[in-house]
């Protein structure tokens, strides 16, 4: 299972990517690589605004690191939320380590976050890519938990929303700190 194959499966919302990745150590590493690449892409897209403010290199690097770290930190939070909601709903809930790969691989669309540099379309592109990640997670969690789609939506949406609010807050705080 290579990165390119999994990327195609996730981008086309093919639910089989969950079955090819569940419980496999290599899948966890692949998911971590995807989240790291998504975080770098997100950070690259976010620092363009900081470049417009013509801030110093140390602040630019700090902004890059903070924006990337926000996306990276959201990955385990989203996974934990899915797991806990599954337990609260008394579903046959896989262990945290088994949920990590599908949620991590659901970040594949966010590897395109560098496209947020497109003038006037940056924020809509970012939201669209995040929503695409949510859809990928819903498809795989529906298959993994063997539940209806609305239950998968209830499992995935709260954690995703929490992470999106946190990432948006971090972006606003970094941009305000960089304002002249």
Helix (H) or strand (E) holding 119: none
Q: Write the pLDDT tens digit of every residue in 122-176.
A: 889 989 999 999 999 999 888 878 889 999 999 999 999 999 999 989 888 887 8
Q: Enter the DSSP assignment of 118.
A: S
Q: Write the pLDDT tens digit of every residue in 25-57.
A: 777 888 899 999 999 998 888 887 778 778 888
Q: Report CA 160 to chain centroid distance, whole Å.
A: 8
The predicted structure's pLDDT at residue 72:
93
- In total, how many domains does the chain have? 1
Q: What are phi and psi of 72, to 5 degrees?
A: -60, -45
pTM: 0.87
Domain range enclosing 173: 3-178
CA distance 89 to 74: 22
Q: Residue 136 in contact with residue 129, Cβ under 8 Å?
A: no
């Amino acid at each position: 299972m290579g990165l390119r194959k999994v990327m195609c499966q996730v981008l086309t919302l093919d639910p089989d990517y969950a079955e090819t990745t569940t419980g496999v150590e290599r899948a966890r590493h692949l998911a971590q690589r995807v989240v790291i690449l998504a975080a770098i892409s997100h950070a690259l897209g976010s620092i363009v605004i900081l470049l417009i403010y013509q801030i110093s290199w140390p602040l630019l690097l700090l902004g890059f690191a903070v924006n990337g770290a926000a996306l990276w930190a959201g990955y385990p939070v989203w996974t934990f939320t899915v797991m806990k909601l599954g337990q609260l709903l008394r579903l046959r809930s896989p262990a945290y380590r088994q949920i990590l790969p599908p949620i991590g691989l659901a970040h594949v669309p966010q590897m395109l976050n560098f496209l947020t540099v497109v003038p006037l379309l940056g924020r809509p592109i970012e939201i669209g890519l995040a929503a695409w990640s949510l859809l990928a997670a819903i498809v795989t969690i529906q298959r993994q938990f063997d539940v209806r789609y609305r239950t998968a939506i209830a499992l995935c949406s709260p954690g995703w929303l929490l992470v999106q609010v946190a990432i948006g807050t971090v972006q606003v705080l970094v941009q305000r700190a960089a304002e002249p």
